[in-house]
Structure 1
Amino acid sequence: MHWLKDTYNWLERRIQLEGPVKDAILHPVPKNTASWWYVFGSAAFTLLLLQVVTGILLAIVYVPSGAEAWSSLQILNHQLPLGWFLRAMHGWGSNFMVAVVLIHMAQVFFFGAYKFPRELTWILGVFMLLMTLGMAFTGQVLRFDQDSYWGLGIGASIASRVPLIGAPLVHIMLGGPIIAGATLTRFFALHVFVIPGMLLAFTGLHVWMVLKLGVNEWPMPGRPVNRKTYIKEYHDLAHNDGIPFVPGAFWKDLVFSGAILAAVAVCAAVFGPYGPTGQPDPTIIQTVPKPDFFFLWLYSVLSYLPANLETPFLLIAPVLGIAVLLALPFYAGEGEKSWHRRPVAVMVLALVAVSWGTLTHLATFTPWSPVMNAWSGATVPAKFVHNLSPTERQGAVVFQSKQCRNCHALGGEGGQRGPALDTVATRLTEDQLIRQVVQGGGNMPAYGTSLSPPEVTALVRFLTTLHPVGQPGATDASRADAETNSPPVKAQAH
């Protein structure tokens, strides 16, 4: 094996990694940190690597287009050998990763590991949690089935409520005014390149800081953090009562990470992949598009909140929560770490855990947030079809058969997701109505692919009749002005 040693020496002279690697694996850590409570960070990193590997393999087959995305997942599920298992490993790996990252954050908070000098380590962890949730959400969108279609519609609705930049934000998010092929392309880029790249970079920096600042010691009562003395106290503890990270603490990380991978594989083999469910169809409202478990709590909150509180909650609560997490190490960076002397922290963690679990459980049977009072096939009230032309009556039939009243009220009856349509003709011109029906916008999906041109024409003609008696419908002022100011056409002699 002399040639192997020579090759190693040749590479080492040029790369010089042996010293840093030895420093990393042999650096001393406090003996009591070689505990099963300290294995969640390494498990999260292992699951991230699993997501990267399985994601690369899936990207070879997956086609991020509105026409092919659903079909490519069917090919993976039913035609490629073990394609279903690969998808299941990726899907269940995502669930496990979110769960492990949440547990790791809770453990860090519980042990006071965000205090001096690990403030930036905690802040990086908060951003890594957000990126993990972002990767999970974008992955759900890429399934592009009924759940993901309407889930993305809800996400776009939430983004549209941001003051001033809501509309541009939706266009950036969807790649246009509607959910289409450009939408999947953007989410594919986010899910495969942008978020994983940032997450790997942040993870590398996070690990580097853990190596440089040391693994947080076991919190002991009566050992508060003091900025002036902590560094020396930790150094003495690690060197006088410490053990090398490898193998002293590493073997538990290795065993736990192996157990997590085995659990992911068992869930993948037993329960299979997530979806896809039916192909996305914007005309089918009764889909109950529940998100994956990590967003079920939000689904439950929005289901129970009154409609007038939804927007304030969505705009204020997340910003406030993230701000509190980021500011935590700055207003509580010193003092006791032990949970025995931090009753407020223990109660906050317990309250958050119980609330999250309760809301997640409630979401398994709570209704979808939009209020759906109308029966899916409820007839249009007679007063709205009196004295209509045949085309306008046909539009009323389309309005009924396409279940428009699940989202829109008419005559005081119907859903409340969209605006009432009793006076819609006074707000939108005929051209604007056509564009809204065909292309969608805001909370409304596009119906251009599910309605034939005659159906669109009939539906819009019916909608133009929805205005109060004696009040004319909306008109295009620029067009009327152009017609008024156009020169008369002179008759030509023949």
Structure 2
Amino acid sequence: MAWYKNIYDWLEHRLQLEGPIKHEIMHPVPRKTASWWYVFGSASFVLLMLQIVTGILLGLVYAPSAAHAWDSLQVLNHDLPLGWFLRAMHGWGSNFMVAVVLIHMAQVFLFGAHKYPRELTWVLGVFMLLMTLGMAFTGQVLRFDQDSYWGLGIGASIMGRVPFIGGPLVHLMLGGPMINGATLTRFFALHVFVIPGTLLAFTAMHVWMVLKLGINEWPTPGRIVRRETYIAEYTELAHKDGLPFVPGAVWKDLVFSAAILFAVAVCAAVFGPYGPTGTPDPTIIATVPKPDFFFLWLYTVLSFLPPELETPFLLIVPPIAVAILVALPFVAGVGEKSWWRRPVAVFSVMFIAICFGVFTHLGTYTPWSPIMNAWSGAPIPVELLHNRTPLERQGANVLQQKQCRNCHQLGGLGGQRGPALDTVATRLTEDQLIRQVLQGGGNMPAYGAALSPAETTALVAYLKTLRPHYQPPAVDASRGVVAMNTK
């Protein structure tokens, strides 16, 4: 075995890592922190490593293009040995990672570990949670099936509601006005490079601060955090009633992390990978897309909110929630840590957990919209076809075939997800109708890739006839001004 030692000595002489590593892994921690309540952070890190390793292997096969993404996943599922298991490990690892990170955040909050001097540790944790959700969302998009296509459409709709910069943000996210090959390339870069790289950097900073500031002590009732005395009190506690992190506390982290990996493997083997389901088809509105579990609560809320409240909710509630989380350690950075003496904190966690559980459960069977109940087979009212030209009647056929009435009422029948079309010609000009059909907007997806130029022309021609006879069609006022100036 002497040659092993020679290699080790050669490396140590040049890197000199033994001293710093020994110092960190042997640093004392309060004895009560060697508890099963303190294992979620290390399990989150292990799951991140699992995602990176399985993601690299999947990236060797996956083709981030609209023409080949779905086929490359079929190759992984059916042609490569254990390719399906690799995809399943990556998918279930994502679910477990989101769940464990959420539990870790709740445990940190209940144990008062966000208080002085760990404020920045908490703030980094908040952004790491957001990046974990971002990595999960971008990964779902890369499946590029019906669910991911419509999920991305909903995400683009949410992004487009941002005042002033919503349109440019959607173009930046999609690589254009609609979902196409450039969209997958951008999400692939986000999922594989940008988000994991940033998450690894934040994780390194997070671990560094945990090592330097120490693991939060057990929240004993009556032990008050004071900025003037806390560090001295913590140092005394760690040395008088402490034990080395290795092996005193680390073995529970290793056991729990191994159990989590085993659970991921069991779920992967039993339930298999997620999708992909059918190839994306923007004309199939009745697909009833479902996001992965970590976004089901949002799916449910948006399904039951009245349309006029969706935009205020999306633009106000999430930013306020993030701001509250970031501000928490600065507003409540001292005082009692024990949950026994912080009833508001306990109630908040219980309330959020119950709401999350209930909304997630409802999301498993909640329709995309409770009032989106039209059938594409219902005929267009006869009175709306009288005195129409052949081109306009062809447009009515396009309206029927593309299932537009799943979302829009016409003649009092149809879905209510979008506005009724009976008076659409009084609200939108011809140019605006063309732009809305091709590029979408609001809750409406873009149909530019699903309609031929002839179909678009016919559909817009028919839509231009949908107005009461006593109301004039919408006009572009700027054209009148230009015409007057040219005379």
Q: Write the letter of the residue equivalent to 1:213.
A: L
For the 8 Å contact 1:373–1:413, the answer to whether it is kept is: no
* Aligned position for 2:19: 19
CA distance 1:131–1:70, change in 2 (3 Å): same
CA offset digits 1:129-178 (Å, max 9, x no partner) = 11101101111111111111111111111111111211111111111111
CA offset digits 1:365-420 (Å, max 9, x no partner) = 22213732432222222222111122221221221122111122223332233333
Return the alpha-carbon distance in structure 2 between the equivalents of residues 434 and 343 of structure 1. Answer: 56
* Aligned position for 1:10: 10
Offset, 1:193? 0.5
* Aligned position for 2:418: 418
Return the alpha-carbon distance in structure 1 between the equivalents of residues 460 and 319 of structure 2. Answer: 41
Return the alpha-carbon distance in structure 2 between the equivalents of residues 311 and 433 of structure 1. Answer: 22
* Aligned position for 1:84: 84
SS in 2 for 1:81: coil
Offset, 1:433? 3.5
* Aligned position for 1:31: 31
CA distance 1:92–1:460, change in 2 (3 Å): same
Alignment of 1:108-257 (within 5 A): 108-257=108-257
CA distance 1:376–1:486, change in 2 (3 Å): same
CA offset digits 1:273-298 (Å, max 9, x no partner) = 00111111111111111211111111
CA distance 1:46–1:237, change in 2 (3 Å): same
* Aligned position for 2:389: 389
For the 8 Å contact 2:178–2:448, the answer to whether it is kept is: no
Q: Write the letter of the residue equivalent to 1:255.
A: V
Return the alpha-carbon distance in structure 1 between the equivalents of residues 451 and 307 of structure 2. Answer: 30
CA distance 1:212–1:471, change in 2 (3 Å): same
Return the alpha-carbon distance in structure 1 between the equivalents of residues 436 and 268 of structure 2. Answer: 42
2:310 equivalent to 1:310: yes
- Structure 2 stretches lacking a partner, 5+ long: none
SS in 1 for 2:155: helix
Return the alpha-carbon distance in structure 1 between the equivalents of residues 164 and 28 of structure 2. Answer: 52
SS in 2 for 1:261: helix
Offset, 1:19? 1.4
* Aligned position for 1:71: 71
Q: Write the letter of the residue equivalent to 2:84.
A: W
For the 8 Å contact 1:114–1:122, the answer to whether it is kept is: yes
Q: Write the letter of the residue equivalent to 2:152.
A: L
Once structures 1 and 2 are overlaid, which stretch shifts more, 422-431 or 32-41?
422-431
CA distance 1:347–1:283, change in 2 (3 Å): same
Return the alpha-carbon distance in structure 1 between the equivalents of residues 157 and 222 of structure 2. Answer: 50
2:50 equivalent to 1:50: yes
Return the alpha-carbon distance in structure 2 between the equivalents of residues 449 and 59 of structure 1. Answer: 27
For the 8 Å contact 1:370–1:416, the answer to whether it is kept is: no
* Aligned position for 1:460: 460
Return the alpha-carbon distance in structure 2 between the equivalents of residues 220 and 474 of structure 1. Answer: 69
Percent identity between the two aligned chains: 76
* Aligned position for 1:273: 273
For normalisation by structure 1, the TM-score amounts to 0.93
Return the alpha-carbon distance in structure 2 between the equivalents of residues 167 and 482 of structure 1. Answer: 26
Q: Write the letter of the residue equivalent to 1:225.
A: V
Q: Write the letter of the residue equivalent to 1:172.
A: L
For the 8 Å contact 1:177–1:441, the answer to whether it is kept is: no
2:273 equivalent to 1:262: no
For the 8 Å contact 2:304–2:370, the answer to whether it is kept is: no
Once structures 1 and 2 are overlaid, which stretch shifts more, 155-164 or 465-474?
465-474
For the 8 Å contact 2:153–2:445, the answer to whether it is kept is: yes
Return the alpha-carbon distance in structure 1 between the equivalents of residues 251 and 384 of structure 2. Answer: 74
Q: Write the letter of the residue equivalent to 2:174.
A: L
Q: Write the letter of the residue equivalent to 2:22.
A: K
For the 8 Å contact 2:157–2:441, the answer to whether it is kept is: no
CA distance 1:336–1:432, change in 2 (3 Å): closer
Return the alpha-carbon distance in structure 1 between the equivalents of residues 215 and 150 of structure 2. Answer: 43
Return the alpha-carbon distance in structure 2 between the equivalents of residues 218 and 341 of structure 1. Answer: 14
CA offset digits 1:180-211 (Å, max 9, x no partner) = 11111111111110000010000000000000
Once structures 1 and 2 are overlaid, which stretch shifts more, 319-328 or 391-400?
391-400
Return the alpha-carbon distance in structure 1 between the equivalents of residues 54 and 148 of structure 2. Answer: 20
Q: Write the letter of the residue equivalent to 1:281.
A: D
* Aligned position for 1:104: 104
Offset, 1:467? 3.2
For the 8 Å contact 2:425–2:465, the answer to whether it is kept is: yes
2:445 equivalent to 1:445: yes
Offset, 1:457? 3.1
SS in 2 for 1:286: helix
Return the alpha-carbon distance in structure 1 between the equivalents of residues 462 and 176 of structure 2. Answer: 28
For the 8 Å contact 1:370–1:407, the answer to whether it is kept is: no
Return the alpha-carbon distance in structure 2 between the equivalents of residues 485 and 295 of structure 1. Answer: 53
Return the alpha-carbon distance in structure 1 between the equivalents of residues 373 and 79 of structure 2. Answer: 42
Offset, 1:453? 4.0
CA offset digits 1:332-356 (Å, max 9, x no partner) = 1111111111112111111111111
RMSD across aligned positions (CA): 2.1
Return the alpha-carbon distance in structure 2 between the equivalents of residues 12 and 259 of structure 1. Answer: 34
For the 8 Å contact 1:110–1:339, the answer to whether it is kept is: yes
Select the structure of larger CA radius of gyration: 1
CA offset digits 1:231-250 (Å, max 9, x no partner) = 11111111111111111111
For the 8 Å contact 2:161–2:442, the answer to whether it is kept is: no
* Aligned position for 1:336: 336
* Aligned position for 2:284: 284
SS in 1 for 2:336: coil
Return the alpha-carbon distance in structure 1 between the equivalents of residues 229 and 480 of structure 2. Answer: 79
Once structures 1 and 2 are overlaid, which stretch shifts more, 419-428 or 22-31?
419-428
CA distance 1:475–1:227, change in 2 (3 Å): closer
Return the alpha-carbon distance in structure 1 between the equivalents of residues 157 and 26 of structure 2. Answer: 51
SS in 2 for 1:243: strand
* Aligned position for 2:408: 408
